[in-house]
Amino acid sequence: MSLPVYEFKCSKCDFECPEDIPSSRFTIRIYNYDNKIIPLLKQDAWCNNCNSIVNAEIIPSLTDIDKVAAKFRQSIEGVRDLDERYNIALNAYKKAFVQNIDYWKKWAFEQDGRSPRCLNCGYTVRPLDTAECTESLKAYIHPGCGGFISRQESDLRISWKIPDEPNVVRFNAAGINLDTISPSNVDSETTDVSKKSTIQSSELHKNPFWLLGATSRDNRKRIVELADIMSLELDHELCQKARSDLINPRTRLRVELGWVPGVSPKKATQLIQKLSEDPLSLREEDGLPPLSHSNLMAAAFEAVGSNHSPNDLSSYIEELACVVEEISIDDVIRDINEDRSISGFPEVTAYDVVESELSEIKRYYKNSIKSALNRLPPSALVETMTLAVESATCGGKYHAPNLIDDLVDNYELESQDFLQKESDNIKKLLSIINESALDGEHYVVPLVDKLEKVTRNWDKVAQPIQLSAKARGTEHNLSNQVAYAIRSLGIDLFNNHNMLSQSRRITVLLQELFAELPEVIEKVEQDADTLDDIYQRRKQSENKNREWEREITYSAEIGVVFKDTLSISPRGVSWKEQNYPLDSITRARWGGVSHSVNGIPTGSTYTIAFGDKYSEAVVETKREDIYSKFTDKLWRGACGRILTDTLESVSAGKAISFDRATLKNSGIVLIKRTFIGSDENVLCKWDDIKIYTDAGEFCITSKSDSKTYVNLSYIKIPNTHILEQIIRMAFKQPGLQKLSELLN
């Protein structure tokens, strides 16, 4: 197969650019868009980064796509007789041009406003279209020196080696060559912004004033002369169109507004030269009219590369937006009319026409920024937008300049599909977490980890929209939906599954990510306060439980030769082979008996007994320290609960017997001794009772009748100590009528 080799040579300088032009039939250039193959059309263009004429992508219109597809359908019949080795290439072409044409159109629609890129390095290029091509010489204008670059065929290369696979060059949807551009060049988010970039193809360079070398103060005659002179070097039709645009008052206004009105001719030339050599430094210019300054700064966005710093670019966007806000239609008309008074053109009086043209120029500003942003990697684009909106609105507190709002609206439109799909994924994950909560917190934790990661990624993209909506006093509905869905999960995890830690974690995540949503954050903060209060109370309860566990734990050995262990802990009470869980203990008694011989004390014997409703363990010891410590632990561990259970039972109407005394809610039943006849049971109200201790017994007597009383042995009658404590509690509450009042 023969491959003609061409060489571009400039007539004014030593520029030489060899260019291989392989057969387009078998070199397939494709985009991988939404997992679909779509074709990539190419054109000749000038790349400032490569400093040469290069192959560049074409971003076709929807009409162009239909024409290309129709043409390809007609050409398929002509290649059926090719060698079988080309079937793969042919099938790939069919798939690209015919089967996926809808995806091609969708891609083209999304690229609206984006500048084409070099297929070698990925930088924005200046297409060398037919308006700048002298057809008779088949030459282009060299952007470097203005000379003619002609294409000449230098020789023929013969190559019969055809690979088994077609020569496929892959590009991503943003126009970056995935095979030749290194990841470090594409994905880097930082760069040395002090390194100068140059541009030669901005809108200002295409302005008729610059093409003809005219000034805003030249009259009609001078403009005609300049057009005739430049026709010798530039395309004749191009010069005639530039002349017509400047002479016709109606079209001249658009040219003037796109130039640098209010700036002297000499200063204008210096500024355009500076735009060519160091475009991004124009942000530092002082004393320029806002419209002129905005035109220069917008043109400079063409110098923004794919590895530009998000911090610097966001600042530049905000600076341009602030300058645009200062544009006054009255000032613009005044500046234009000052130059027209010198050039002899009629003054501008149609205020509405100027306003309409300025709207178009502001749309150009937005598209310039949009093109610069689209050259960035996705992560850098999102970061740039976030930084710009956050700074312009002071974190959503103040209205942003209109240009920032327009950018956010466009950003929201382009990110809508991503945000919607990811929000659906978040909702599916929330449903999975809810179902997994039935199996326990162990299964929920890793899923909440995943939820946090997915939500952070989602919110990172939505952040500029949220900030802008907050500044405008509106809401981002999709963010509200996602936030409320996640909040609902947090509430369910706590209310239905008692997963306080995961609920608090979700609440903290919502506070961090959705702080820009006033209504949401207000509810989330209320949730946080409630959960924090519950958490603190649980923490205090846990601390009390740990303290209680520490306080009741005790163990001692009893015996001289054969020792047995008496112990109490949260697990229960043990003596010898008898073990009682704390909750099972329903009775306890203890006391000591002093011994003496002939009036001489010989020591004391201490008895401790405890048990459930079925059995009882009895401990005897002569060691007072063991007796005192153990009974104290027993009171804390079991007797306090028995006391509470007793109060709740009598409050419910039950009567509880302590040997011959019966405890009721309204009083206690005592025994009235009579000289003749049987003893009587008498209910004594709480204000008719007095108590005292005598000879190891707890004595309860009626105040009004000394013959009505009951004496209960501490050491023999179960729960006598508990009954004493209940009565003493009742005495501490003057006027008490019923024991149930103690529970209040």
Lowest average pLDDT, out of 42-51, 122-131, 573-582, goes to 122-131
Please check whether residues 621 and 536 belong to one and the same domain. no
What 3-state DSSP class applies to 49? coil
Is the pLDDT confidence value at 185 over 60? Answer: no
What 3-state DSSP class applies to 197? coil
Q: Quick one: pLDDT at residue 258?
A: 93
**Boundary-marking domain end, from 144, 165, 181:** 181
Q: Quick one: pLDDT at residue 77?
A: 53
Pairing of strands 27-33, 167-171: parallel
> 């500048």: which residue's tokens?
115
Residue 258 structure tokens: 């796109």
Residue 324 domain boundaries? 208-376
Q: Quick one: pLDDT at residue 355?
A: 92
Q: Quick one: pLDDT at residue 196?
A: 44
List, for residues 244-256, the tens digit of each pLDDT value. Answer: 999 988 889 999 9
User: Is the residue at 645 inside a domain?
Assistant: no
Is the pLDDT confidence value at 154 over 70? Answer: no
Is the pLDDT confidence value at 180 over 50? Answer: no
Q: Quick one: pLDDT at residue 497?
A: 83
User: Is the residue at 355 inside a domain?
Assistant: yes
List, for residues 637-676, the tens digit of each pLDDT value. Answer: 999 999 999 999 999 999 999 999 999 999 999 999 887 7
Q: Quick one: pLDDT at residue 179?
A: 45
List, for residues 694-736, the tens digit of each pLDDT value. Answer: 989 999 999 999 899 999 999 999 999 999 999 999 999 988 9
On the CB side of 436, CA atoms within 13 Å amount to 15
Most confident range (mean pLDDT) of 133-137, 488-492, 494-498, 679-683 is 679-683
pLDDT band at 73 (very low <50, low <70, confident <90, very high): low
pLDDT band at 130 (very low <50, low <70, confident <90, very high): very low
Is the pLDDT confidence value at 279 over 50? Answer: yes
HEC string of 477-524?
HHHHHHHHHHHHHHHHHHHCCCCHHHHHHHHHHHHHHCCCCHHHHHHH
In the chain, the largest separation of any two C-alpha atoms, in whole Å, equals: 149
List, for residues 305-364, the tens digit of each pLDDT value. Answer: 888 889 999 999 999 999 999 999 999 999 999 999 998 999 998 899 999 999 999 999
Is the pLDDT confidence value at 214 over 60? Answer: yes
Q: Are 142 and 10 in contact (CB under 8 A)?
A: yes
Euclidean distance between CA atoms 218 and 75, whole angstroms = 53
User: Is the residue at 201 inside a domain?
Assistant: no
Please check whether residues 322 and 239 belong to one and the same domain. yes
Q: Quick one: pLDDT at residue 234?
A: 74
> 């300054």: which residue's tokens?
293
Q: What average pLDDT does the chain have?
A: 81
Euclidean distance between CA atoms 552 and 637, whole angstroms = 6
Q: Are 326 and 319 in contact (CB under 8 A)?
A: no
Strand order, beta sheet including 133-134 = 16-20, 2-10, 148-158, 139-141, 133-134
Euclidean distance between CA atoms 720 and 643, whole angstroms = 11
Of 517, 514, 418, the closest CA to residue 475 belongs to 517
Is the pLDDT confidence value at 29 over 80? Answer: no
User: Is the residue at 641 inside a domain?
Assistant: no
Is the pLDDT confidence value at 148 over 80? Answer: no
Is the pLDDT confidence value at 627 over 60? Answer: yes
Q: Quick one: pLDDT at residue 132?
A: 44
Please check whether residues 530 and 562 belong to one and the same domain. no
Q: Which residues pair with 693 in a beta bridge?
A: 698
Please check whether residues 367 and 495 belong to one and the same domain. no
Q: Which residues pair with 39 in a beta bridge?
A: 30
Euclidean distance between CA atoms 402 and 394, whole angstroms = 15
User: Is the residue at 533 inside a domain?
Assistant: yes
pLDDT band at 616 (very low <50, low <70, confident <90, very high): very high
Of all residues in the chain, the percent with pLDDT exceeding 70 is 80
* Number of structural domains found in the chain: 5
Strands (E), 87-166: 126-127, 133-134, 139-141, 148-158
Please check whether residues 541 and 568 belong to one and the same domain. no
Lowest average pLDDT, out of 93-102, 452-461, 538-547, 593-602, goes to 93-102
Euclidean distance between CA atoms 415 and 376, whole angstroms = 15
Is the pLDDT confidence value at 541 over 80? Answer: no
Please check whether residues 583 and 695 belong to one and the same domain. no
Which parts of 151-264 fold into alpha helices (H)? 183-187, 208-212, 220-230, 236-247, 249-257
Euclidean distance between CA atoms 505 and 431, whole angstroms = 17
Of 668, 671, 706, the closest CA to residue 687 belongs to 668
Q: Quick one: pLDDT at residue 26?
A: 36
**Boundary-marking domain end, from 515, 547, 579:** 547
Q: Quick one: pLDDT at residue 322?
A: 93
Is the pLDDT confidence value at 1 over 80? Answer: no
Please check whether residues 303 and 350 belong to one and the same domain. yes
Q: What is the pTM of this model?
A: 0.54
Of 36, 345, 71, 364, the closest CA to residue 173 belongs to 36
pLDDT band at 574 (very low <50, low <70, confident <90, very high): very high
Please check whether residues 624 and 526 belong to one and the same domain. no
Is the pLDDT confidence value at 624 over 50? Answer: yes
Is the pLDDT confidence value at 107 over 50? Answer: yes
Query: Average pLDDT for residues 502-510, to the nearest whole number?
Result: 86
Is the pLDDT confidence value at 381 over 50? Answer: yes
Question: Who has greater pLDDT, 329 or 527?
Answer: 329
Q: Quick one: pLDDT at residue 265?
A: 87
Of all residues in the chain, the percent with pLDDT exceeding 90 is 40
Please check whether residues 583 and 514 belong to one and the same domain. no
Residue type, 350: A
pLDDT band at 5 (very low <50, low <70, confident <90, very high): very low
User: Is the residue at 657 inside a domain?
Assistant: yes
Q: Are 580 and 641 in contact (CB under 8 A)?
A: no
Helix H or strand E encompassing 318 = helix 310-325
Please check whether residues 609 and 744 belong to one and the same domain. no
User: Is the residue at 659 inside a domain?
Assistant: yes
HEC string of 584-641?
HCCEEEEEEEEEEECCEEEEEEEEEEEECCCCEEEEEECCHHHHHHHHHHHHHHHHHH
**Of how many residues is the chain composed?**
744
pLDDT band at 464 (very low <50, low <70, confident <90, very high): very high
Q: Quick one: pLDDT at residue 609?
A: 96
pLDDT band at 612 (very low <50, low <70, confident <90, very high): very high
User: Is the residue at 199 inside a domain?
Assistant: no
Helices and strands (H, E) in the chain, number of each type: 22, 25
CA angle, corner 536, sides to 534 and 537, nearest 5?
Answer: 65
Please check whether residues 620 and 661 belong to one and the same domain. no
Q: Which residues pair with 684 in a beta bridge?
A: 668
Please check whether residues 141 and 238 belong to one and the same domain. no
List, for residues 389-426, the tens digit of each pLDDT value. Answer: 999 998 888 899 999 999 999 999 988 988 999 999 99
Euclidean distance between CA atoms 142 and 132, whole angstroms = 10
Query: Average pLDDT for residues 602-621, to the nearest whole number?
Result: 93
Query: Average pLDDT for residues 560-581, to the nearest whole number?
Result: 90
Q: Quick one: pLDDT at residue 8?
A: 60
Residue type, 277: E
Instruction: Classify residue 195 by burial, with Cβ atoms within 10 Å: 0-12, 13-18, 19+.
Output: exposed
